[in-house]
Structure 1
Amino acid sequence: MNFVQPIRDIEKIVEVKKYLGNKNKRDELLFCFGIYTGLRISDILPVKKKDVYNKDVFFVVEIKTKKSRKKNSKYTTKRRIPIVPELKKLLSVYCQNIKDDDYLFKSRQGKNQPITRVRVYDILREAAHECGITEIGTHTLRKTFGYHIYQEGKDVALLQEIFGHSAPYITLRYIGVNQKAIDQAYNNLNKKFKF
């Protein structure tokens, strides 16, 4: 599995949003939903119109791997997610022509099924390629959310709580802050050692 990075450049985020919006409104909403909520793709895909339409917040049951000796044991926690005004605007336009029980990110295959994680990856990979972004994956949306929340206030404890990480260094590594610092250190050394 490749390690993916957040999209750090706001202009690139706008470029990807615009590219997806011109191609498919569902995919544009998917991208925005991910970067505005910070949820995992596995928690985004089951969302239905009735869960989020005309609401200021919604609740999601996150299913994540329990960190214990038992492999593949799972537990659930309910999380309150605010719907920011920009996302609310996108939802109000997109949801006008779909039924309450429809999945937001509905597949064209079969009856009322969400798209797959693989399809999400393909959508993001194509958009990234068109916009000149590398190191993309389904976690890019969640990492982009985290990276920009962190840059706003440098509050790693807040992000640690949002993501459910056990330690601040895990959160910083996850959102690529440590990698950015490492890359900068190498670049600084390169500038210093110009021979």
Structure 2
Amino acid sequence: MGIIVGLRISDLLKLKFKDLVDDRGNVLDVIRIKEAKTGKTKTFSINKSVKRAVNEYMKEIDHWPEKFFFSSRKGDNKAISRVQAYRVINEACRIAKIKGSIGTHTLRKTFGYWAYKQGIDITLLMRIFNHSSPAITLRYIGITQEEINEVYINLNL
């Protein structure tokens, strides 16, 4: 889910079922949250694969509107910590045989990287990430000068 919606881990971990599901148990098309870092309201659509994953998850666990989506097994209705999220992500990467340095912020950066690679305009990504310039966004998502140079080398009009 984190790679597909591009949220900061702090915002992802504070999601509750009421943020994702309506009163009848239907997964919402559009999600609205207040970003922890900026205090701004962020509105975004979720795709079919996220909806499917949320529906499957709801079949497996007890849930109610105020329950955290990524809830800890420790204590009453607490979200998992950033440290636990890091462990879960790294265990999933180990199982999938994904190598490299993977952190909780990697989810958000991966969203941006692949959106850019699929042709999403950098100024739109800049707005999604609340960055002040395209250069910051390019650096953030890991686009290198070599990749930029390849565009010029390979473009044939």
Q: Give the shorter-chain TM-score range.
A: 0.7 to 0.9
Q: Partners of 1:148 and 1:99 in 2: how far apart?
A: 33
SS, match of residue 32 in structure 2: strand
Tell me if 1:139 matches 2:102: no
Tell me if 1:162 matches 2:128: yes
What TM-score results when the alignment is normalised by the length of structure 2?
A: 0.83
CA deviation string 1:102-134 (max 9, x = no partner): 110000010000000000111122222341321
Q: Partners of 2:10 and 2:66 in 1: how far apart?
A: 18
CA shift in 2, pair 1:92/1:129, >3 Å = closer
Q: CA RMSD in A?
A: 1.8
Q: Partners of 2:70 and 2:118 in 1: how far apart?
A: 29
* Alignment correspondent of 2:34: 61
Where in structure 2 are there 5+ consecutive unaligned residues?
22-26, 151-157
Output aligned runs, 1:32-181, within 5 Å. 33-53=1-21, 54-64=27-37, 75-96=38-59, 97-130=62-95, 131-178=97-144, 181=147
CA deviation string 1:6-63 (max 9, x = no partner): xxxxxxxxxxxxxxxxxxxxxxxxxxx2011100000011111111022101101112
More moved, 95-104 vs 76-85: 95-104
Q: Partners of 2:35 and 2:144 in 1: how far apart?
A: 26
SS, match of residue 49 in structure 2: helix
Identity of aligned residues (%): 43
Whether the 8 Å contact between 1:62 and 1:78 is mirrored in structure 2 is yes
* Alignment correspondent of 1:18: none
* Alignment correspondent of 1:23: none
Whether the 8 Å contact between 1:49 and 1:95 is mirrored in structure 2 is no
Whether the 8 Å contact between 1:61 and 1:78 is mirrored in structure 2 is yes
CA shift in 2, pair 1:102/1:154, >3 Å = closer
Whether the 8 Å contact between 1:128 and 1:134 is mirrored in structure 2 is no
In terms of fraction of residues, the more helix-rich structure is 1
Structure 2 residue identity aligned to 1:43: D
Q: How many residues align?
A: 141
SS, match of residue 63 in structure 1: coil
CA shift in 2, pair 1:132/1:55, >3 Å = closer
CA shift in 2, pair 1:102/1:179, >3 Å = farther
Larger RCO, structure (CA 8 Å, separation 6 or more): 1
Q: Partners of 1:126 and 1:101 in 2: how far apart?
A: 27
Whether the 8 Å contact between 1:173 and 1:179 is mirrored in structure 2 is no
SS, match of residue 105 in structure 1: coil
SS, match of residue 41 in structure 2: strand
What TM-score results when the alignment is normalised by the length of structure 1?
A: 0.67
Q: Partners of 1:162 and 1:51 in 2: how far apart?
A: 19
